[in-house]
Amino acid sequence: MEIIRPQNTPTASSADALTVALAQIAPIWLDRVATTDKIAATVRQAAAEGAQLVCFGEGLLPGYPFWVDQTDGARFESPEQKAWYAHYLDQGVVIERGDLEPIQAAARETSCAVYLGIMERAPDRGGHTLYASLVYIAANGEVGSCHRKLQPTYEERLVWGPGDGHGLRTHALGAFTAGGLNCWENWLPLARASLYGQGEDLHVAVWPGGPQNTEDLTPVMAREGRSYALSVSGYLEASAIGVDLPGAAEMKASGKAFARGGSCIAGPDGQWVIPPVSDREALLLAPLDHALVRREHQNMDPVGHYSRPDVLQLRVNRERQSTVKFED
């Protein structure tokens, strides 16, 4: 896999330095076990290159539902769409049964933390709906948080359920405080503010794949939060469509690139550390310097000295939502 590093590497004290990797890879599309193995191998590769945090795109495990807008996905009571959904649900990730354990083991072995987009099949919601979830796996291999996307976007609503605020959490990584959001919820100012208020200064934005999603917003998030912003995307060519479901052959024959990448990193001044990388699998590696975060907060802190909590406040409900509550 191609390794991409910034042209200019800052010199940081050991206390301020953190090396991050953005893994712009293709899934073994809609194959949970094979994709899990590829992700675990990529964690080990990134760690061997010095990464202390490696990030993967939205829904990468087992893959984004690209079939929906290619196979008449909105047709009601369609046997073909039901077949797609049944397969997708079957390949969903159940954290409670240990589906992430191979990736957790890779994190443990390498002391490398992971942000990963998954299609979560959630037993606490009955087990028959998928959620676009962003999972944080700590360097000790433990799952630190699982954020279910607040609002699926457009055709995603045909196959995903809306999430909740339970996973709006941050995590200490050396001198940094990391948080993350899924795809278009990165456009939500209040969702971003919920992380800023917890001290976030390293923002992870995960996307299915496409520079049109990342090139405009990434510097804005970085400049607004005075943080590093990491936008990580997936990659998928038509030739990688391997499932045997209605319309899959036409998808494969189309020659389209369903996900083009566009992963990039912006610094707390809004300038590119690594500009968007598209149209190939790649591992973006960059050392980050927390001193730059502190410098940029001198004249702007959206939840600190430049805020007015007596005028404007945000209330966040982090209760995990469920249809049924049992009192035994």
- The answer to whether 325 is a known catalytic residue is no
pLDDT for res 32? 98
In the three-class reduction of DSSP (H, G, I as helix; E, B as strand; rest coil), residue 190 is classed as helix
Q: What is the pLDDT of residues 65-82, one digit of tens each?
A: 999 999 999 999 999 999
Residue 280: which pLDDT band, with cuts at 50, 70 and 90?
very high
DSSP 19: E
Q: pLDDT tens digit string along 241-260?
A: 999 999 999 999 999 899 99
- For the chain, what is the mean pLDDT? 96
Q: Is 58 a catalytic residue?
A: yes
pLDDT at 135 over 90: yes
One DSSP character per residue, 234-284 reads -EEEGGG----STTHHHHHHT--EEEEEEEEEE-TTS-EEEEEEESS-EEE
pLDDT in tens, 258-269: 999 999 999 999
Task: Read off the pLDDT of each residue in 96-101 and give the average, rounded to a whole number.
Answer: 98
Indicate the pLDDT class of residue 129, thresholds 50, 70 and 90. Answer: very high
Query: What pLDDT is attached to residue 205?
Result: 98
Angle, helices 189-196 vs 217-225, to 10°: value is: 40
d(CA 102, CA 141): 10
Is 142 one of the catalytic residues?
no
For tokens 């049944």, the residue is 86
The CATH homologous superfamily of the domain defined by 2-296 = Carbon-nitrogen hydrolase (3.60.110.10)
Average pLDDT over residues 139-149: 98
CA atoms within 13 A on the CB side of 43: 30
- Identify the pLDDT of residue 283: 98
Question: Residue 220: which pLDDT band, with cuts at 50, 70 and 90?
Answer: very high
**For residue 318, what pLDDT is reported?**
97
Nearest in space to 64 (alpha carbons), one of 146, 158, 145, 144: 158
Catalytic residue among 55, 112, 146, 183: 183
- pLDDT at residue 8, rounded to an integer: 78
Q: H helices within the chain, ranges in order?
A: 32-48, 79-90, 101-110, 189-196, 211-214, 217-225, 248-253, 290-296
10 Å CB burial of residue 194 (0-12, 13-18, 19+) is: buried
**Phi, then psi, of 86 in degrees rounded to 5:** -60, -40
Token digits of residue 293: 């975060």
Q: How far does Cα 328 stand from its chain's mean position?
A: 37
Q: Report residue 284: phi and psi, to 5°.
A: -90, 125
What pLDDT does 12 receive? 79
> Residues near 117 by Cβ (< 8 Å), separated by ≥ 6?
56, 57, 58, 59, 60, 61, 132, 133, 134, 135, 182, 206, 234
Mean pLDDT of 108-117: 98
Q: Answer for the pair 83, 114: CB distance below 8 angstroms, yes or no.
A: no
Tokens of 254: 């189309």
Give the pLDDT of residue 46: 98
32-54 pLDDT tens trace = 999 999 999 999 999 999 999 99
Is the pLDDT assigned to residue 11 strictly greater than 80? no
Which is catalytic among the residues 55, 120, 149, 156?
A: 149
The beta-carbon contacts of 31-34 under 8 Å, at least 24 apart in sequence, are: 31/62, 31/63, 31/91, 31/242, 32/61, 32/62, 32/91, 32/92, 32/93, 32/99
